[in-house]
Amino acid sequence: MKRLLKRLREIRNNTRRMLTMNQRNLHYIYPYNHRRYFPIADNKLLTKEVLQDAAVAVPDTLLTYDAFYALRTLEEELCAYSDFVIKPARGSGGGGIVVITRKTGDTWYSAGGTAYNVDKIKRHITDIIFGVYSFGLSDVAIIEQRIDQHPFMCELSPLGLADVRLIVHKHEPVLCMCRIPTQASDGKANLHQGALGIGIDIDSGLTSHAIFKDKQVTHHPDTGIELIGNTIPYWDQVIAMSRAAAEHVPLKYLGIDIAIGTETPLLLEINVRPGLQIQNANQIGMRPGLEALRYQTGQTNSQANSWKPDHEA
């Protein structure tokens, strides 16, 4: 009976530490992220522009297409590349992203082995421009450098590019996890599509817990590799990069996604509405850490919202 009561108290205390969606919206997103600055996070091209003066590495942009007539030169321009990533500038949740890993003759192949000729790529880019992946809004298709993962990350995540998601408040990382693609997620690092979420200790970069489809796991469901007790490469650089990016934008509650390349981490994107499953991946709630930062003396929200990027100054 005593053991049961102790367990019930632990569950109650853990529940109190969990950040809910309403709390996230009312106490962090709305007060600390002014809506007029949302495009900095929602548009990947603008994110790169704003961060170009910061000490933050990002994947190179190879080509962009913002109008249908611009696609007349697509075949000639793509022939220079055997691997690349196609993504919508305003997409979310991994929608519209195609990772091309190799080319044979006139055919490119995605990470999942799907064949793409020029016409198929053109149709996909047309969908992006038309707004299929950005809530019906016209969009820009980005052709971007494909990141070569660090060898350890390739071993941990052989089915696609993994990333590290950090929740950052007032320039300080609060909680972080590694998102690992699986067969269920079709090679995408998105938990809602079936990717793994692995909690990471902020101080050491050591993986501590893992979830797959909302259940705790210790090994990759497809490869069997052990997920717990691994140290993420370049961890000090990952933390430094998250702080540098957060300091350079006026958004003070962020999800920051970073990939681990062979030579350096690279920032993929920032998110003003980061999800809450990171708490389940870490088996710990965010409320204590966030509340400690929330009441720290420092930059006020009005100071953050007075910021203007160079092109608006």
**pLDDT at site 186:** 79
Q: What does the pLDDT look like over 119-171, one tens digit per residue?
A: 999 999 999 999 999 887 899 999 999 999 999 999 999 988 999 999 999 99
Q: What is the pLDDT of residue 4?
A: 47
> Which pLDDT does position 181 carry in this prediction?
92
Quote the pLDDT of residue 147. 95
Mean pLDDT by 10-residue block, N- to C-terminus, for the chain (313 residues)?
49 71 95 94 94 91 95 94 95 87 93 90 96 89 96 94 96 96 86 94 96 95 95 97 96 97 96 95 94 65 45 37
pTM: 0.87
Strand-pair category, 141-144 with 61-65: antiparallel
Query: What mean pLDDT value characterizes the chain?
Result: 89
Q: Measure the CA–CA gap between 156 and 184, rounded to whole angstroms.
A: 16
Question: Which one of 3.30.360.10, 3.30.470.20, 3.60.120.10, 3.40.640.10 gives the CATH number of domain 21-58+149-305?
Answer: 3.30.470.20
pLDDT at 14: 58
Domain extents in the chain: 21-58+149-305, 61-144
